[in-house]
Amino acid sequence: MYDTDETKRSPAHPPARTRWAILGVVLAADVLDLLDGTITNIAAPTITRDLGGGPALLQWLGASYALALGVLLVLGGRLGDKYGRRRLFLTGLTGFTAASVACGLAPTPEVLVAARLAQGAFGALVIPQGFGILGATWPRNEIGKAYSLFGPVMGLSAVGGPILAGLLIDADPAGLGWRAMFLINIVLGGAALLAAARLLPRDTGDRTTTVDVPGSALLGATMLAALAGLIEGAAHGWTALPVLLLVAGLALFGAFCHRQRTASSPLIRPSLLHNRGFTSGLLLGIVFFAAVAGLLYVISLFLQLGLGRSPAGAATALMPLSAGIVIASIAGYRLIARLGRRLVLVGFLVTLAGTAHLLTLVAVSGTDTGSWALVPPLLVIGLGMGACFGSLYDVTVGDIAPEEAGSAGGSLGAVQQLANAIGAAAVTAVYFRTDGGADRATVVSLTVVAAITLLCCPLVRLLPLKAPEEQHH
């Protein structure tokens, strides 16, 4: 039992100092996930030069992590309910740290991609446990203080992750080069693991919880076949193999949908799929997040392969975009209650304007584009993305029932990760299949992203008008 000398605190909750320390552990795990999800955007060209693997490795580096994380995110949450959140958190963090070491020591592209898949899979065991752990350790009337820190911390991590990766690669500590950005997780992950083992409360879970392993397996096979088809087609041309892989992906997706209709405890509640606002937001999220994930990868490739920036130089050049995301995310939290789905539309339009500006700049100046000229379009793109990132999914759950909130949140988080994987593969497939140099490939890729974003705009009217009121108190 915890000490209960605080009269305003329920005996079921630990002391305030312990609660804040637990929040720190949960945030540290989320920061590790975000850092490792974004660092390869900067590091991919350097890794490919060192290990080989060509365009296929460039595409798999980001897509493999997001694929495993997205496919297993909902399953990880269910496993935590079944076997206990502490156990899954510790297991996932241990596996994540070990997989990071495997990434840092990988001798071949194949081993590195396998280790990235393992990283994403173990990350999917860790991330879903965080909010459940906080809900069990924080009083209901104070938990808003804990949740309010996630936005700023994640925003700073989004800014700092690529910069850290670039600095480590350029600094080349102990001659490790790009490997240092994975091996640093021995320290970061190890410290978080020790703190978690000491602080997290024990829970037994509920062994009656049903886990849809076949559904997760079908979803994973669907995404793996689709990504393999896209990447194989981009790397070696659209021969029979990539076409067959894409067809197999469609067939497996059909089997997944059938499983969701017939399973006793599907990954996504059937009632959610009958909610027009939710399904519209789900599909819109897949399309938009895929587009911007590909956009970020292409910008990084242009900076390094087109403009010859070092990894640290490319990360620095992306700071206006990251700053825009942070600024608009904070402002959006205050505006979403008043604007509702109109804020999503504003975000789409601003992203479109920034992409069009960047497209024009690259089309006119090509590889002679100056660093300062990139600041305005990248800042505008970041502002647009920041306005959409939180608001799109806040509005998507605007008219769901309270008992559907958990399933909806898990589904939306998984969809965002899967969209990241799809976008990293699809948009970079366009980039690598375009002849004429880095500037021409960038122009064509940005045109595709702009067209997708434009198509998203009229579909906003299918979303619920507003986000739930409780999201903004």
CB 70 within 8 A of CB 417: yes
Residues 201 and 286 in one domain: no
CB 76 within 8 A of CB 95: no
pLDDT reported for residue 293:
87
In a domain, 86, yes or no: yes
Residues 375 and 410 in one domain: yes
pLDDT reported for residue 445:
95
Per the structure block, which two tokens stand in for 56?
Answer: 């296929």
pLDDT reported for residue 473:
40
Helix, strand, or coil here: 136? Answer: helix
Residues 221 and 181 in one domain: no
In a domain, 101, yes or no: yes
In a domain, 2, yes or no: no
Residues 47 and 89 in one domain: yes
| Helices (H) then strands (E): counts for the chain | 19, 0
Q: What is the model's pTM?
A: 0.83
Residues 142 and 45 in one domain: yes
Residues 66 and 129 in one domain: yes
Q: Which of 340, 282, 342, 334 lies closest to 466, judged by CA?
A: 340
pLDDT reported for residue 100:
96
Residue type, 366: G
Residues 204 and 309 in one domain: no
Token pair 């505008």 in the structure block, residue: 380
In a domain, 369, yes or no: yes
pLDDT reported for residue 11:
46
Domain tally for the chain? Answer: 3
Residues constituting the chain: 473
Per the structure block, which two tokens stand in for 78?
Answer: 């269910």
For 84-129, give the DSSP string: -HHHHHHHHHHHHHHHHHHHHH--SHHHHHHHHHHHHHHHHHHTTH
333 CB burial (10 A radius; 0-12, 13-18, 19+): middle
In a domain, 173, yes or no: yes
Residues 114 and 219 in one domain: no
pLDDT reported for residue 272:
80
In a domain, 424, yes or no: yes
69 CB burial (10 A radius; 0-12, 13-18, 19+): buried
Q: Which domain-ending residue is among 211, 231, 251?
A: 211
Residues 174 and 45 in one domain: yes
CB 149 within 8 A of CB 323: no
Q: What is the domain-level CATH number for residue 370?
A: 1.20.1250.20
Token pair 């998984």 in the structure block, residue: 414
Residues 412 and 391 in one domain: yes
Range of the domain at 247: 214-264
CB 396 within 8 A of CB 282: yes
CB 443 within 8 A of CB 362: yes
In a domain, 324, yes or no: yes
Residues 203 and 220 in one domain: no
- pLDDT tens digits, the chain, 473 residues: what are they? 334 333 344 446 788 889 999 999 998 998 888 888 888 888 889 999 999 988 889 889 888 998 898 888 888 888 988 899 999 999 999 999 999 999 999 999 999 999 999 999 999 999 888 878 888 888 877 777 777 677 667 766 766 777 888 888 888 898 999 999 999 999 999 999 999 999 998 888 888 888 888 988 998 899 889 888 888 887 777 889 999 999 999 999 999 988 988 888 887 777 787 888 888 888 998 899 889 888 988 999 999 989 999 988 988 898 899 889 888 888 887 888 888 899 999 999 999 999 999 999 999 999 899 889 999 999 999 999 988 877 888 888 888 777 676 677 777 778 888 888 888 888 888 898 888 888 999 999 999 999 999 999 999 999 988 877 654 44
Residues 6+ apart with CB under 8 A from 75: 124, 211, 212, 213, 216, 267
In a domain, 8, yes or no: no
Residues 329 and 257 in one domain: no
Q: Which of 379, 347, 376, 324 lies closest to 453, judged by CA?
A: 347
Per the structure block, which two tokens stand in for 452?
Answer: 């997708």
